[in-house]
Amino acid sequence: MTAISLISIALTLLLAFLLARPAGLYIAYAFHNEGTRLDRWFGPLEKLIFSIGGIRRNNQNWKQYAASVVLSNTVMIILVYLILRFQGVLPLNPSGVASMEPTTAFHTAISFMTNTDQQHYSGEIGLSYFSQMIAIVFMMFTAPASLLAVAIAFIRGLAGKPLGNFFVDMIRGITRILLPVALVMAVIFIALGVPQTLEPTAVVNTLEGAKQEIARGPVGSFLSIKEFGNNGGGFFGMNSAHPFENPGGFSNFLQILLMLLLPAALPFTYGKMVGNKKQGRVLFVSMAMLLIVLLGISLASENAGNPAINALGIQHQQGSMEGKEVRFGAAQSSFYSVVTTATETGAVNTMHDSLTPIGGLVALGNMMLNTVFGGVGAGFINVLMYAMVAVFLSGLMVGRTPEFLGKKIEGKEMKLIAITLIISPLLVLVPTALALYTNADTISNPGFHGLTQVLYEYTSAAANNGSGFEGLGDATPFWNITTGIVMFLGRYFSVITMLAIAGSLAAKKPVPETSGTFRTDNVVFAGVFLVTVLIVGALTFFPAVALGPIAEHLTLKP
């Protein structure tokens, strides 16, 4: 791994972190309910949408808000399911792609609506242009906008304000944040060589005289929102390892930047909205530190390569290159794998299946913790939930009923948090055990690695990440249905419980701050928060990863 590649990683991170604050403040501004200058720009378009949709723009209570999220998303899932099932007869299908099989359509519709973008099909042969543009890209906007709205409502609740209106928030998320950035970035990606066409798959004769089919399509517009919205589903089966979906170093850099932009910005949005900028900064720094440490581990491991292969005398100065694109090299591939799992995007520019066991563990760990920035909205809500657990424990340790932002965390909140904490191991470990027991034959690489494949699949689904460890024969009804259910519950269960907490906290009278109040905006709290995340995560998943990547690592002998 060269110094240049490390410097370029450092610069990318630096730039992403520098952009986080202004972006965060802009988001806070965009969701400001009391009329801002942005209304002049976006107002007319939004008013038009509101009047078409018949949106009343009233404040909703938490139940209405949660119901709006779940119902509207479910309606979209049904719509997209229908499109996928009938894409063969729908227009814009120049390559003649067939309609999708029912369980794959079920899986795909849920996958994109939940911002997971796990794909049990290959984009270039599985979806028509109509499906890509109308179904998939549509969801790539509404899915992150939905969760961004939930996060904003949650923050409003913490700030003691009304939660707002889901439809207004979701539309604003699209018009004011996702759409403008996606538009600009699409143009840039197209300029960098990403195709944007409705022409069918090109068929060319190669020099040897063989016939080659080159898949193409409206990729540029797809790519920008795929990264910016932390969606991650690829236009092509190869995702961002495909040259049309990631032509080179610069596009790779832009993709990493886009993935980090919203997740890293939200702590600042939060600090601004609750009026405690320092606390937002503390959470941001905690997460950034986690990211940097995990990235360091992954880079070191990928750089060291596979001892068994190294022992064969194969040149490994480049690091472990198995399954990686030569265009990016080990460093940028490892960097991409860490960022895509940390931000729950799920786009890949390398085969995660081929990462070294420890590199794979870092990717897996990012998704298990789901707090290393995390995906748009969802990740940050999770972060705040862990912050509340940390507050609860610390509050006890200083002899006070725990308070967070002046609101007491009591039995009701802890009950909601407790069931949310249980859902994650339930959605990961139980289906993994089930799949290992019943569907072991779909695993391509039996042993510890195979166990990791299955564990990764469900972790990715539960955390709404979507990246695949691959190597799994997962296009079967069993996988489609189980991961579909896991993705759905993984998303909406915590949306409901967290909004319930927001509603409960919003109704509480704030407790004034005194010197006896336990501070949640200093280094000590950052430490407690990080330790809580790591211990809860480690304790829950240690036995599973011990039998997966850790066992694989320990048995890799030269």
Partner 1 sequence: MSTRKRSLNKEIVNHAVKEAFIKLDPRIMIRNPIMFVVEVGFVITLFLIFVPNAFGTAVSAGFNIAVALILLFTVLFANFAEALAEGRGKAQADSLKQTKKEISANKVSGNTVKQVPSTDLRKGDIVIVSQGEMIPGDGEVIEGLASVDESAITGESAPVIKEAGGDFSSVTGGTRVISDQIKVRISSDPGESFLDRMISLVEGASRQKTPNEIALNTVLVSLTIIFLIVVITLPFFADYLNIQLAVPVLVALLVCLIPTTIGGLLSAIGIAGMDRVTQFNVLAMSGKAVEASGDINTIILDKTGTITYGNRMASELVPVGTHELKEVSEWVAVSSIHDETPEGRSVLELLKKQGFEFDASVADGAEFIEFKAETRMSGMDLKDGRKVRKGAVDAVKQWVESQGGIIPDNLNQNRDAIASAGGTPLAVAVDKTIYGLIYLKDTVKPGMRERFDQMRKMGIKTIMCTGDNPLTAATIAREAGVDDYIAESKPEDKIAVIRREQAEGKLVAMTGDGTNDAPALAQADVGIAMNSGTVAAKEAANMVDLDSDPSKIIEVVAIGKQLLMTRGALTTFSIANDIAKYFAIIPAMFMLAIPGMEALNIMKLHSPMSAILSALIFNAIIIPLLIPLAMKGVAYKPMSSSQLLSRNLLIYGLGGVVVPFIGIKVIDLIVQLWV
Enumerate binding residues for partner 1 (CB under 8 A).
Answer: 389, 392-401, 406, 409-411, 413-415, 417-419, 421-422, 425-426, 429-430, 432-434, 436-437, 440, 447-448, 450-451, 509-512, 514-519, 522, 524, 527-528, 531, 535, 538-540, 542-544, 546-547, 550-551, 554-555, 557
User: What's the chain's length in residues?
Assistant: 558
Distance of alpha carbon 260 from alpha carbon 189, whole angstroms: 17
Comparison of 176 and 407: residue with beta carbon closer to partner 1: 407
| Shortest separation between residue 552's beta carbon and partner 1, angstroms | 9
DSSP code, position 205: E
Q: Could you tell me the smallest distance in angstroms from the CB atom of residue 445 to partner 1?
A: 13
The distance of closest approach from Cβ of residue 440 to partner 1 in the complex, given in angstroms and rounded to an integer, is 6
With contact defined as beta carbons under 8 Å apart, do 103 and 477 qualify?
Answer: yes
Report d(CA 176, CA 482) in Å as an integer.
36
The nearest distance, CB 286 to partner 1, in angstroms, is 16
What is the Cα–Cα distance from 302 to 320, expressed in whole angstroms?
Answer: 5
The three-state (H, E, C) secondary structure of 101-122, written as one string: CHHHHHHHHHHHHCCCCCCCCC
The answer to whether the beta carbons of residues 415 and 433 sit under 8 Å apart is: no
DSSP, collapsed to helix, strand or coil, labels residue 408 as: strand
* Least distance to partner 1, CB of residue 300, Å: 17
In angstroms, what is the minimal distance from the CB of 460 to partner 1?
17
The residue (of 191 and 398) whose beta carbon lies closer to partner 1 is 398
Inter-residue contact 257 to 19 (CB < 8 Å):
yes
Give the count of beta carbons closer than 10 Å to the beta carbon of residue 486.
28
Minimum CB distance to partner 1 smaller for 206 or for 437:
437
Backbone angles phi, psi at 233, to 5 degrees: -70, 135
Closer CB to partner 1, 173 or 406, in the complex = 406
- Which CB sits closer to partner 1, 89 or 430? 430
- Shorter beta-carbon distance to partner 1: residue 178 or 455: 455
Query: CA-to-CA distance for 335 and 338, rounded, in angstroms?
Result: 5
The least distance separating partner 1 from the CB of residue 80, rounded to whole angstroms, comes to 32
CB of 73 to partner 1, least distance (A): 27
- Supply φ then ψ for residue 213, to 5 degrees: -100, 125
Of 133 and 511, CB closest to partner 1:
511
Q: Which is nearer to partner 1, 191 or 293 (CB)?
A: 293
Q: Please report how many Cα atoms fall inside a 13 Å half-sphere around the Cα of residue 332, on the Cβ side.
A: 25
Tokens for 343? 């931000």
Helix 219-228 vs helix 179-191: angle between axes, to the nearest 10 degrees?
130
Tell me whether residue 287 or residue 421 sits nearer to partner 1 (CB atom).
Answer: 421
CB of 433 to partner 1, least distance (A): 4
Contact 180, 406 (CB under 8 A): no
Q: Is the CB of 65 or the CB of 469 nearer to partner 1?
A: 469
Smallest separation (angstroms) from partner 1 to the CB of 231: 29
Which phi and psi angles does 212 have, rounded to 5°?
-125, 135
Is the distance from CB of 407 to CB of 505 less than 8 angstroms? yes
